[in-house]
Amino acid sequence: MKSNNGIKFLTPAVSPGNHCPMRIASVNVEKIKGLSSLLVGMPECATHSRLYNPKPEGRNGELHWLYVLDAQEVVFGCRNGLIDALRKMDNAGAKAILMIVTCIPELIGEDIQAILNEVQPELSARITFVMLGQFKNISYPPGSWKTMEALGMLMDGKATDSNRINVLGRAPEEEHIPLPSLLPALTGRGIALRYLAPGSSLEDFQSAPDAVLNLVVSPFMQPLAARMEQEFGVPYISLHTLYDVESIDKAYRALGERFGYSWDGAFDKERQEALTLQKQAEKRLGGLQYIFFPRIDIPLPLAVYLTKLGMEPLLLHLEEYYPEDREYAKELTDMGYNPWICRMVNAQADLPILKKLAPDLCFGYLPEPNKTIPCVPDLFDFYGQVGYARTNHLLKRILSILNEISIAEKGGTVHGAASI
């Protein structure tokens, strides 16, 4: 498998299937303060986008408007209509506009870049766009990473601030997600952090090229980091793909060396805990076969980690095959494993197949609770977390599920009265 196209459906009848990338783009754009959007598509896309971005105007003057193609535009293109729409949004006070282009305008080959080249000089608002036809972007991740990457077009080069680091993949206010200990450690050494993700402001994004470094903590932000490196020379370090203690050690050491810092044992406690848990996990997980269900953000790096702990991958659901996944796929095959890759789009039809494979453990989201398949659910909640603490949380969760299974296998309950 070399790309997204290589991921086949496990069973053919889609019900209900994956989210459309348009949905995720609509959700994300609504969360960026100051950014307006223009969704371009058919009545279906325009109507359904309102499920997730319901109001035409935001609290801070954002406009979230819709452009619907008519029968004539499907045949002859919508260039004039779009230019007129952008002018109207500009006049209405939009500061910057992200055009979310859906299936039909992408299918008819509307040249959005040419439209922008033509109209941008006369507009005050900066315009960018993202092509999200679902026939090319089968699942939802492009709605995140392509949208974030498109925001690079709104940035301009700036003088570098040697004390500024962007954290790509967390919003400024995300109290419900634990803060990786690395971030306060950096702040404590005089580094100013700028958080970039849905939840940040347009201004944050536009100022981002002044940073000396980008730290990536979510897969959805890596393409923007790559773009910023290429266009503005801001280097990046990816932390979201690192699970094992050794690779986290290496990344933190490199980061310290880059700034001339010594971490002074700031992470010793959580690192030691991670080492202990890793050893326990190796003992408990060794030889167990596993399957990945949907809703795992970083499947191949996680698969590599679990396999290094001694587990055997049987079947992996992938929402998206990122370019960097090739390296992780190679790591898996180098370890002697070549698991099946699929896309699960019909839970009811898929379930009998998954049961037949009889995995020891599954990871991810199973729509219908099925106790015959032991599962480590809810891996989405590691969003925005990296480092030793994330590894600790992950391993604790896996080990606790294993404990539950072994209790169930022993029969009876641990607590309560017994008969004579």
Partner 1 sequence: MGLHRFKPLPSGRMGILWTLASIRGAALVEFGCMGHMLYSGVTLKRAGVHNACKLYSTHIDETDIALGGTERLNHTIDNVVMRDHPRVIFLLPSSIPEVIGTDLPALCAELQQEYPGVRLLPFGYGGFNVTQHRGVQEALLLLAKTLAVGVKRTQEPTFNIIGSCADLFRFQADAMELVRIMEGTFGIKPLCVMTSDTSITEIENMGGAHINLVIRGEGEPAAKHLQQCFGTPYLLGRPYGIDGTTRWLDQIAQIAGLTADAAFLKAQREISRQQLAAVMPSFRHIIRAHPEEAVLSLGGHADVVRGILSFGCGEFSLGKGTCWCDCPDMTSEDIPYFSEEQWTQAVQKHQKGYLMASGEALEWAGRNTELQISNPDTKWRLHPYEPPFMGFRGAVHLVNLWINENIED
Residues at the contact surface with partner 1, assessed by CB under 8 A: 5, 9, 11-23, 42-48, 50-51, 54-57, 65-71, 74, 81, 84-85, 88, 103-104, 107-108, 133-136, 138, 345, 348-349
Cβ-based nearer residue to partner 1, 53 or 218: 53
Cβ-based nearer residue to partner 1, 282 or 380: 380
Least Å distance between CB 111 and partner 1? 17
Cβ-based nearer residue to partner 1, 89 or 191: 89
Cβ-based nearer residue to partner 1, 67 or 267: 67
Least Å distance between CB 15 and partner 1? 5
Torsion sign (Cα): 245, 247, 250, 256: negative
Least Å distance between CB 6 and partner 1? 12
**Is the distance from CB of 5 to CB of 123 less than 8 angstroms?**
no
**Is the distance from CB of 128 to CB of 69 less than 8 angstroms?**
no
CA dist 325 and 327 (Å) reads 5
Cβ-based nearer residue to partner 1, 9 or 365: 9
Torsion sign (Cα): 53, 56, 62, 67: positive
Q: What is the DSSP string of 227-292?
A: HHHHHH---EEE-TT--SHHHHHHHHHHHHHHHT---TTTTHHHHHHHHHHHHHHHHHHTT-EEEE
Q: Which helix (H) or strand (E) holds 97?
A: strand 96-101
CA neighbours closer than 13 Å in the CB half-sphere of residue 209: 17
Residue 320 neighbours by CB under 8 Å, 6+ apart:
4, 139, 141, 142, 145
Residue 279 neighbours by CB under 8 Å, 6+ apart:
none
- Cis ω for the linkage preceding 178 (within 30 of 0): no
Least Å distance between CB 294 and partner 1? 13
Torsion sign (Cα): 83, 86, 90, 95: negative
Least Å distance between CB 12 and partner 1? 4
**Is the distance from CB of 91 to CB of 122 less than 8 angstroms?**
no
Q: What is the DSSP string of 54-72?
A: --SB-TTS-BEEEEE--HH
Beta bridge partners of 99: 38, 129
Least Å distance between CB 205 and partner 1? 25
Least Å distance between CB 402 and partner 1? 33
CA dist 344 and 9 (Å) reads 6
Least Å distance between CB 396 and partner 1? 34
Cβ-based nearer residue to partner 1, 60 or 400: 60
Least Å distance between CB 304 and partner 1? 28
Q: Which helix (H) or strand (E) holds 412?
A: none
Cβ-based nearer residue to partner 1, 134 or 278: 134
Cβ-based nearer residue to partner 1, 42 or 179: 42
Cβ-based nearer residue to partner 1, 101 or 239: 101
Least Å distance between CB 240 and partner 1? 26
